[in-house]
Amino acid sequence: MPSQSSIISLFQDKPIGQNVTIRGWVRTFRNDQFISVNDGSTIRQLQIVIRPEELDEATHKRIQTGTCISASGILDKSLGKGQDIELNCNRLEILGDCDPQEYPIQMKRHSLEFLREKAHLRFRTNTFAAVFRIRHHLQFAIHKYFNENGFFNLHAPIITGSDAEGAGEMFRVTTLDATNPPLDENGFADFRQDFFGKPSNLTVSGQLEAELAALALGKVYTFGPTFRAENSNTSRHLAEFWMIEPEVAFNDIHDNMDLAEDFLKYCLRHALTYCREDLEFLQEREINEDKQKPAEERQTKPLIERLQFITEQSFERITYTEAIDILLNSAHYKKKKFKFPVEWGIDLQSEHERYLVEKHFGKPVIITGYPAAIKAFYMRLNEDGKTVAAMDILVPGIGEIIGGSQREERYDMLRAKCAQFHVAEESIWWYLETRKFGTCVHAGFGLGFERLVMYVTGMTNIRDVIPFPRTPGNAEF
């Protein structure tokens, strides 16, 4: 018996005339003799040709959309038009039946909303298989980029005893009996008796831990799951998502911007090189979906062109103050088209960011120098005393994809910021000690992995780029 081949290897090597075996899932069974099979190795289907007279009636009925089969035979040039090779089957085995009365995935267009409710089966559609192959390649590209550039990967803890990061609501981790916890002298749950002897949570960011490592290893990055218990119900937020957080000793805010831009472009180039067919499929899909939409909601450029465009452009770099000026001088503002007010000191709203990126510049924008009051306590205070060395990278379509900063490395300044932001020093004494013992300039940023996958695949809902999305009220599968 010949060993099993992946369908992608058959398309690549084209071993015409050889006896091969493939295993996969039936997509369609046409004309009682053509079985279109996908094995996940590629977006493409292999056509299995079987002579009707060689197929007994019982087996014939078991070949349905979704059936798992093994097919052996001679690989040949295809007589049909849709493909260049096909498998002339001389041995067909049903590995797993699929009852068409019950199987919800049909060989037709399904809405993404419907497939979201079938998350266990949606991998079997072209769209999701393409998305998750691309997700894999992007993950690989990220590790590759950092490895090639001298970074060390750091596994930040998933369970943390610190709640000082201020990045959002946290999930409590406890082994206490929720219905009958031990109580302390004030009548509250007594976490001294909990597993860790103190309250603990799922991490909202690995940044603080990454900083500790960077101040010894030089260049590090984390790439792990993070958790936010925010009740945010949008197409861009998850309760569980994956984040990449590089942190580099001796980098200032400008080095940080250079790194982020180079890194982002590297990831896009990697996807363009290694995910070509999947991207072409998703591009085609997007074009078809856009036909149903009003003109103003359609993409102005096809997916691949958009990605290429980003890799070729240098990102626009402006300060927060300049951004406010651009907004104030815009015709959009003068016609009172912004819903929210614009003035120095405000946090930029989605509509402001979208105007800057999509209307004014038409390419990615890095904004730096935000007012200290609207950014986190650990960001380095600039010489003007009122702005911090923060940076946000905004991209068309997604908005903020990266947020980062040069960190406050000055011990006294950081303590002052802690007091200002009501961060208890005793809760992050270990973080403060790095500033006491051989501190140095350093900077880093965070990239939401799913936002990157959205950007590359053109998917518009974050729930469609993570295999099993966790959102408020939904932890099925």
Partner RNA sequence: UCCCUAGUAGCUCAGUCGGUUAGAGCACAUGACUGUUAAUCAUGGGGUCGCUGGUUCGAGCCCAGCCUGGGGAGCCA
Q: Where are the beta strands (DSSP E) in 135-273?
A: 152-153, 159-160, 172-173, 200-202, 219-227, 240-249
Which range touches RNA (CB under 7 A), out of 122-130, 311-319, 346-354, 417-425? 346-354
User: Count of CB atoms within 10 A of residue 341's CB?
Assistant: 8
**Quick one: CA torsion of 66, 71, 77, 78, rounded to 10 degrees?**
-30
User: Count of CB atoms within 10 A of residue 41's CB?
Assistant: 18
Single residue of 33, 149, 174, 299 touching RNA by CB under 7 A: 33
Least Å distance, CB 214 to RNA, is 18
Least Å distance, CB 27 to RNA, is 7
Cα 213 to its chain centre, rounded Å, is 24
Query: Could you say which residues in the range 175-214 bind RNA, by CB under 7 A?
Result: 205
3-state secondary structure (DSSP) of residue 178: coil
Least Å distance, CB 340 to RNA, is 6
Smaller CB distance to RNA: residue 124 or 191?
A: 124
Single residue of 54, 93, 113, 184 touching RNA by CB under 7 A: 113
Which range touches RNA (CB under 7 A), out of 132-140, 310-318, 412-420, 460-468? 460-468
One-character DSSP codes across 31-82: TTTEEEEE-SSSSPPEEEE--GGGS-HHHHHH--TT-EEEEEEEEEE-SSSS
Smaller CB distance to RNA: residue 114 or 344?
A: 114
- Whether residue 191 contacts residue 181, with contact meaning beta carbons closer than 8 Å, is answered with no
Least Å distance, CB 337 to RNA, is 14
Least Å distance, CB 269 to RNA, is 20
Six token digits for residue 123: 């991998």
Q: In whole angstroms, how far apart are CA 336 and each of 35, 93, 340, 347?
A: 59, 68, 10, 18
Query: Could you say which residues in the range 376-435 bind RNA, by CB under 7 A?
Result: 399-403
Smaller CB distance to RNA: residue 284 or 433?
A: 284
Smaller CB distance to RNA: residue 119 or 191?
A: 119
Closest among 86, 213, 91 to 155, alpha carbons compared = 213
- Whether residue 229 contacts residue 168, with contact meaning beta carbons closer than 8 Å, is answered with yes
Which range touches RNA (CB under 7 A), out of 47-55, 213-221, 365-373, 424-432? 47-55
Size of the site for RNA (CB under 7 A): 71
One-character DSSP codes across 277-306: HHHHHHHHHHHHHHTTS-GGGS-SS-HHHH
Smaller CB distance to RNA: residue 36 or 251?
A: 36
Smaller CB distance to RNA: residue 107 or 189?
A: 107
Query: Could you say which residues in the range 69-108 bind RNA, by CB under 7 A?
Result: 78-83, 86, 100-101, 104, 106-108
Single residue of 262, 347, 384, 425 touching RNA by CB under 7 A: 347
Smaller CB distance to RNA: residue 191 or 396?
A: 396
Least Å distance, CB 122 to RNA, is 13
Six token digits for residue 151: 């970074």
Contacts of 24 (CB under 8 A, 6+ apart): 7, 37, 38, 39, 40, 46, 68, 69
**Quick one: CA torsion of 13, 15, 16, 19, rounded to 10 degrees?**
-150
Query: Could you say which residues in the range 117-176 bind RNA, by CB under 7 A?
Result: 167-168
Single residue of 6, 9, 11, 49 touching RNA by CB under 7 A: 49
DSSP 342: -
Burial class (CB in 10 A: 0-12, 13-18, 19+), 397: middle
114 binds RNA (CB under 7 A): yes
350 binds RNA (CB under 7 A): yes
CA distance 115 to 122: 6
Contacts of 457 (CB under 8 A, 6+ apart): 130, 131, 134, 279, 282, 303, 465
Which range touches RNA (CB under 7 A), out of 61-69, 134-142, 177-185, 211-219? 61-69
Which residues are registered as beta bridge partners of 364? none
Query: Could you say which residues in the range 281-340 bind RNA, by CB under 7 A?
Result: 340
Query: Could you say which residues in the range 11-30 bind RNA, by CB under 7 A?
Result: 28-30
47 binds RNA (CB under 7 A): yes
Smaller CB distance to RNA: residue 5 or 404?
A: 404
Least Å distance, CB 369 to RNA, is 16
Single residue of 111, 179, 186, 314 touching RNA by CB under 7 A: 111
Single residue of 97, 163, 190, 230 touching RNA by CB under 7 A: 230
Closest among 238, 293, 251 to 443, alpha carbons compared = 251
Least Å distance, CB 26 to RNA, is 10
Single residue of 209, 247, 261, 450 touching RNA by CB under 7 A: 450
Which range touches RNA (CB under 7 A), out of 153-161, 232-240, 312-320, 326-334? 232-240
Smaller CB distance to RNA: residue 75 or 191?
A: 75
Contacts of 21 (CB under 8 A, 6+ apart): 1, 2, 3, 4, 5, 70, 71, 72
